Structure 1
């Protein structure tokens, strides 16, 4: 069966794929999104939902660079997304604290904070008492200090994916859900079509946003994509009156309180292949860690535990690149546990690449070339 052609086929229906489809459609491209399950049902659905512009990733960029710019582009887009599509993604910039449990860690935080402030990013250093004042619900034993960034925030990942998908549909994106990709047809050194369980799709461009399955999709076009699955487990409590008011990072596990009062706890990154089973010992361990840090969790019932597979690149940074061979294949994967932080920015960057616009940030950070002399890039 042959389906109507599209300019672009996006493979993957998580936060990255839906953001790419939405952005490309808004730029006037005809787009088909192919997803083997449903929207946001893999890594995006197993994300705590933090959107942190200053956190542990900032230590690699003591001056704000491409990672910060990608996150900032996403965070700014989320401010307007609800009004654009009519779905409240529960995004709030509640501010966040990056914690230090040692003087060495505090020095790293201070170095990054100094660099960020030089570029106008608001970051305030805190001593132990300042951390306590910033988030009284957090148990502060062993914390020597930290930093506060008012731009850090949180959102509902599932609502984000639904909003991006709805926006994409409104701009004409064809959504093929429950559809498997069987092959990527190449001819003359470039992509020509995607063969799926729903039929063949002729196209000029393909975006591999298949998350933990990006290596499998890449292999269909003869491309090695250095991404593997990393299991992330999540726990959800019953609702309680709001007591967590800030985004806390730097101390595992991650936790946030939703608008309805439920507390989401998570943060594991486990190398177990494609095993999505919930491991009771691991859940017990991070539940214990959450109780130590947030004593008011004690007595709250656990409603649900689940797991998803994060797409982990060797350095846990995104891979975003329009390839020369085969021409027309673009990679948008490897976002690891920060896919929600990077989704809208990735959509914008991929749209720049596929429409000939000047990219809004430096591309070298996200290219495959950084793995050229490594085992993963061989």
Structure 2
């Protein structure tokens, strides 16, 4: 092998790219991770940190099973990260709630969970609780809460610690992470391999490439003949001052981070590449939080931000091989935190084509080549 040829080059140094890199390193591959510029749109630095199963795959059984496998694998994976990099990602999996102030929305979501349960069988259970039942068991819950669903499998991590832990693990296993290495073009080479053009620093060659660059993958994926065109979806968040008392429960929109602050989020907006927060959404988030836990009305908000999720046309992950360019792969999803253990284990087996690797046909990119694809 020529000195300038890496075995596998990961384009994208966020949670997804680092997870894939970790899995490939553990399987014995040589891996280089090309991370972009600090100013890039980075979902890994602005997400909510949930390890969440509720609602995932209600209409996509393969996604429901993939997510269930990931949630089950998280405890052992968090121990693995501590072993490699010495970082505690603050994983908790004591169960989570989806709170509703509208009974119609609660019933609709409960119907989603029934379909999800049909796909997962005895591997998934949930409860639907009325507002009155909740107020008997959840201290401080507000009178506007109409009800909630609950799953004992849900939890969260500290996402910035997770990012640091993955970087440390990749480095500990001999992987290379190059910061400020923004790839602008991927060109297949006759006979195999790829030339990568880097902004401001010439080109380099790679035997295999895995596109994990989130919103930055769109142009590169097109160059390799993939059909997927990712799009941004803006989510906005508030974070409060640190408070001594712990919230009694975790929800998908209100959680207390391990350092003590309350994180409030859950919004979705098609705003293009505008990741700025908006006063109206910030106000709506604050009202929702106070409706669920009225005591939060007296807690100060210290930060607010918007961040862009990475969405495929149908919202489900893509794991694809370039049909005309062997050695090129596309990996993209919007549940990067939840799916970390699968990306660092089974997905690496799939990339390597190992016996026993998962069948990921339901996540293939070709679904977007159909005339009626979204």
Residue 228 of structure 1 corresponds to which residue in structure 2? 231
Residue 247 of structure 2 corresponds to which residue in structure 1? 244
Instruction: Indicate conservation of the 8 Å contact 1:11/1:209, yes or no.
Output: yes
Matched, 1:15 2:12: no
107-116 or 318-327, which deviates more: 107-116
Instruction: Indicate conservation of the 8 Å contact 1:50/1:340, yes or no.
Output: yes
- Secondary structure of the residue aligned to 1:371 is helix
- Secondary structure of the residue aligned to 2:329 is strand
In 2, Cα distance between equivalents of 1:79 and 1:139: 37
In 2, Cα distance between equivalents of 1:318 and 1:117: 18
38-47 or 319-328, which deviates more: 38-47
In 2, Cα distance between equivalents of 1:246 and 1:86: 28
Instruction: Indicate conservation of the 8 Å contact 2:209/2:328, yes or no.
Output: yes
Q: Displacement of 1:45 after TM fit?
A: 1.3
Residue 274 of structure 1 corresponds to which residue in structure 2? 273
Residue 328 of structure 1 corresponds to which residue in structure 2? 327
Matched, 1:180 2:179: no
User: Once the two structures are superposed, what CA deviation does each residue of 1:166-207 show, in whole Å capped at 9, x if it has no partner?
Assistant: 100111111111111122120237542322244433222111
Q: Displacement of 1:373 after TM fit?
A: 2.5
Residue 373 of structure 1 corresponds to which residue in structure 2? 370
170-179 or 292-301, which deviates more: 292-301
TM value normalised by structure 1: 0.87
Q: Displacement of 1:371 after TM fit?
A: 2.5
- Secondary structure of the residue aligned to 1:278 is coil
Residues 138 and 286 (structure 1 numbering): CA distance in 2 closer, same or farther, change over 3 Å? same
Q: Displacement of 1:300 after TM fit?
A: 1.4
Q: Displacement of 1:331 after TM fit?
A: 0.8
Residue 211 of structure 1 corresponds to which residue in structure 2? 214
In 1, Cα distance between equivalents of 2:22 and 2:156: 21
Instruction: Indicate conservation of the 8 Å contact 1:38/1:178, yes or no.
Output: yes
- Secondary structure of the residue aligned to 1:223 is coil
Q: Displacement of 1:321 after TM fit?
A: 1.6
Residue 348 of structure 1 corresponds to which residue in structure 2? 345
What is the 5 A alignment of 1:56-95?
56-60=55-59, 64-74=64-74, 76-95=76-95
In 2, Cα distance between equivalents of 1:305 and 1:276: 11
TM value normalised by structure 2: 0.88
Runs of at least 5 residues in structure 1 that lack an aligned partner in the other structure:
none
In 1, Cα distance between equivalents of 2:39 and 2:160: 8
Residues 93 and 360 (structure 1 numbering): CA distance in 2 closer, same or farther, change over 3 Å? farther
Matched, 1:105 2:102: no
Residues 266 and 196 (structure 1 numbering): CA distance in 2 closer, same or farther, change over 3 Å? same
In 2, Cα distance between equivalents of 1:106 and 1:271: 22
- Secondary structure of the residue aligned to 2:98 is strand
Residues 62 and 172 (structure 1 numbering): CA distance in 2 closer, same or farther, change over 3 Å? closer
Report the number of matched residues: 368
User: Once the two structures are superposed, what CA deviation does each residue of 1:125-150 show, in whole Å capped at 9, x if it has no partner?
Assistant: 5444443345334325352452x322
Q: Displacement of 1:156 after TM fit?
A: 0.7
Residues 304 and 161 (structure 1 numbering): CA distance in 2 closer, same or farther, change over 3 Å? same
Q: Displacement of 1:119 after TM fit?
A: 2.4
Q: Displacement of 1:353 after TM fit?
A: 1.9
Residues 90 and 40 (structure 1 numbering): CA distance in 2 closer, same or farther, change over 3 Å? farther
Residues 40 and 272 (structure 1 numbering): CA distance in 2 closer, same or farther, change over 3 Å? closer
- Secondary structure of the residue aligned to 1:22 is helix
Residues 31 and 110 (structure 1 numbering): CA distance in 2 closer, same or farther, change over 3 Å? closer
User: Once the two structures are superposed, what CA deviation does each residue of 1:226-261 show, in whole Å capped at 9, x if it has no partner?
Assistant: 211112222111011233232224xxxx12101221
Residues 21 and 50 (structure 1 numbering): CA distance in 2 closer, same or farther, change over 3 Å? same
Residues 18 and 345 (structure 1 numbering): CA distance in 2 closer, same or farther, change over 3 Å? same
Instruction: Indicate conservation of the 8 Å contact 1:19/1:344, yes or no.
Output: yes
Residues 219 and 287 (structure 1 numbering): CA distance in 2 closer, same or farther, change over 3 Å? same
In 1, Cα distance between equivalents of 2:325 and 2:46: 32
Q: Displacement of 1:76 after TM fit?
A: 4.6
Instruction: Indicate conservation of the 8 Å contact 1:19/1:346, yes or no.
Output: yes
In 1, Cα distance between equivalents of 2:213 and 2:72: 23
